[in-house]
Amino acid sequence: MARPGAACPPPARRVMVAARALLFWALVYSYCGVCACIAGLRLLWSIGRRPGETFRWVVRENPPSCLNDPSLGTHCYVRIKDSGLRFHYVAAGERGKPLMLLLHGFPEFWYSWRHQLREFKSEYRVVALDLRGYGETDAPPHKENYKLDCLIADIKDILESLGYNKCVLIGHDWGGMIAWLVAICYPEMVTKLIVVNFPHPSVFTEYILRHPSQLIKSGYYFFFQMPWFPEFMFTLNDFKVLKSLFTSQATGIGRKGCRLTAEDIEAYLYVFSQPGALTGPINHYRTIFSCLPLQHHEVIMPTLLLWGERDAFMEVEMAEITRIYVKNHFRLTILSEASHWLQQDQPDIVNKLIWTFLKEEAKRKRE
């Protein structure tokens, strides 16, 4: 009989691995079913209350003027050789200046960085990208095209296509997940890492399994595993869910924040009301459980983590735990009155904190 603590023989180890995998996927699909049932009940409730309004879906034909505001920069496109995909981005600041690359979250697009495009163009070439499947960027039809490896490679290839070999990388929400992974996989390409409201991916995967409250808040990760139904639910009541994400008291920008204007909301509705516009963004989540946990964890460049304490989707405790994975200067700033949509909610404060971090790191490097 094996001694306590001794290594398991290969057959026993394989059984343990298989059992853990079975339990993991049972959890994923069970919770997926629970989320689907809740969504179905909400659908029935909506039909019962307002049957005529429930299935209303208005496709916005023309973009609001804010999307073509010249103060935000120039709309550009780049085609990646390896994947063949064409990416859309908005760029501000002179070519040749250091690159600042901005990665948005869900359900957002390049416009979520409008305040940063205006702010940092004086010293950087600021590029706000539409991620794979979003907005005017190409959207491959199969969910396998949205695995994390593909998303990480996109950023590397775009950087090279823009004529740069390194950048200041900034990501929010799902874009923060990608930013962490790019920093881990291609550290030579990231001079400084700034993440907004997303913990280190290893913290997220470990924390969510140990804290039911975070598991509930991340229920949409599981709901999105279903085909077509999540996209359908977003379209109900003319994208009521999308509007409420940014404006409701529970999940929207806080009462002391910089609320979205009616034109800002129309910009989001213009992008996501187009036929098929939600499938690419949701496909980002449909492969996530086969890609995590990570094999490599360490982040070796200076890192700034900004966090809105009133985040309805991410518990603030994960922010502090992230520190253990950064093997360089790490700064964490938590804003007590800010929501999940931090760079839109508190743009002046966020911009000031980013400037301070960049200038302190430049000074530290000279010394």
Q: Which residues are catalytic?
A: 173, 285, 340
| CA distances for 140 relative to 143, 158, 252, 276, 289, angstroms | 8, 17, 30, 11, 20
| CA distances for 206 relative to 225, 269, 294, angstroms | 20, 35, 11
Q: What is the CA radius of gyration of the chain?
A: 21
Q: Say how many C-beta atoms besides its own lie within 10 A of residue 40's C-beta.
A: 12
Largest separation between any pair of C-alpha atoms in the chain: 74
CB 267 within 8 A of CB 111: yes
> Which burial class, exposed, middle or buried, applies to 125 when counting CB atoms under 10 A from its CB (0-12, 13-18, 19+)?
buried
CB 112 within 8 A of CB 343: yes
CB 139 within 8 A of CB 132: yes
Spell out the SS3 assignment of 82-135: CCCCEEEEEEECCCCCCEEEEECCCCCCHHHHHHHHHHHCCCCEEEEECCCCCC
| CA distances for 320 relative to 185, 250, 316, 327, 341, angstroms | 22, 23, 8, 14, 19
Looking at residue 98, the DSSP 8-state letter turns out to be P
Extract the tokens encoding 105.
């979250």
321 Cα distance to chain centroid? 19
Helix axes 10-49, 229-247, angle to 10 degrees: 70
CB 169 within 8 A of CB 182: yes
Instruction: Please report where in the chains the tokens 């009155």 appear, as a residue.
Output: 337
Half-sphere exposure (CA, 13 Å, Cβ side) for 151?
33
